[in-house]
């Protein structure tokens, strides 16, 4: 199973649009099942509940970890640029999953990263930061990471409207399926 992770909890974000397109591309590539983990769905006082011990992990994080993280063989991260890196909620989520069943969640798995930004660099720095964290968790990251720049100009009516970008995402996913 591949879990596509939309790496922000910001409402009405553009990363989710690319994540949804990625799911379609995985399905066209013949891979089933593929599931979406949308960090917008995280609710409540996750930071207050002390998710740094297995006993204190929130029920919602535990449920997501058990259904979308542990069963996954591969992760496809769609990660926007926030302040020169990636969203803190994604780091928090990875940290929360690492305190319970860390090996089952991450060890020996593979990941690909698609970076999203409204600027020119497509979140290159954030993809580097995330790669380091995933490597620490014993996840092998595909070296071919995909930066998507000036994303606002590629989306129309909540759809990825740029043919070249759609093809780049599809090619990236085909490479990842072979990885």
State the average pLDDT over residues 20-32. Answer: 87
State the average pLDDT over residues 139-166. Answer: 89
State the average pLDDT over residues 103-107. Answer: 97
Place 106 in a pLDDT band, splitting at 50, 70 and 90.
very high
Place 55 in a pLDDT band, splitting at 50, 70 and 90.
confident
Domains of the chain: 2-178 (3.40.50.360)
% of the chain at pLDDT higher than 70: 95
End-to-end alpha-carbon separation of the chain, Å? 14
Place 61 in a pLDDT band, splitting at 50, 70 and 90.
confident
pLDDT tens-digit readout, 67-76: 999 999 999 9
State the average pLDDT over residues 170-177. Answer: 94
Asked if pLDDT for residue 5 goes beyond 80, the answer is yes
> Could you give the CA distance from residue 172 to residue 142 in angstroms, rounded to a whole number?
10
pLDDT of residue 51: 62
What is the value of pTM for the model shown? Answer: 0.94
Asked if pLDDT for residue 48 goes beyond 80, the answer is no
State the average pLDDT over residues 25-32. Answer: 83
Is 71 exposed, middle or buried (CB count within 10 Å of its CB: 0-12, 13-18, 19+)? middle
> Could you give the CA distance from residue 135 to residue 140 in angstroms, rounded to a whole number?
6
> Could you give the CA distance from residue 171 to residue 163 in angstroms, rounded to a whole number?
12
> Could you give the CA distance from residue 15 to residue 24 in angstroms, rounded to a whole number?
14
């Amino acid at each position: 199973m591949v879990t596509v992770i939309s790496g922000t909890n910001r409402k009405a974000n553009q990363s989710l649009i690319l994540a949804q397109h990625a799911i379609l591309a995985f399905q066209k590539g013949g891979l089933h099942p593929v599931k979406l983990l949308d960090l917008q769905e995280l609710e409540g006082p996750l930071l207050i509940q002390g998710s740094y011990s297995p006993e204190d992990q929130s029920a919602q994080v535990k449920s997501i970890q058990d259904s979308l993280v542990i069963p996954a063989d591969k992760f496809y991260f769609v990660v926007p640029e926030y302040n020169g890196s990636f969203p803190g909620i994604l780091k928090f989520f990875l940290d929360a999953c690492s305190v319970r069943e860390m090996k089952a969640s991450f060890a020996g798995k593979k990941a690909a990263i698609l970076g999203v930004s409204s600027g020119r660099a497509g979140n290159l720095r954030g993809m580097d930061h995330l790669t380091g964290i995933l490597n620490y968790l014993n996840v092998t990251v595909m070296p071919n990471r995909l930066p998507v720049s000036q994303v606002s100009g590629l989306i129309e009516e909540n759809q990825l409207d740029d043919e070249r970008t759609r093809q780049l995402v599809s090619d990236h996913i085909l490479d990842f399926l072979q990885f």
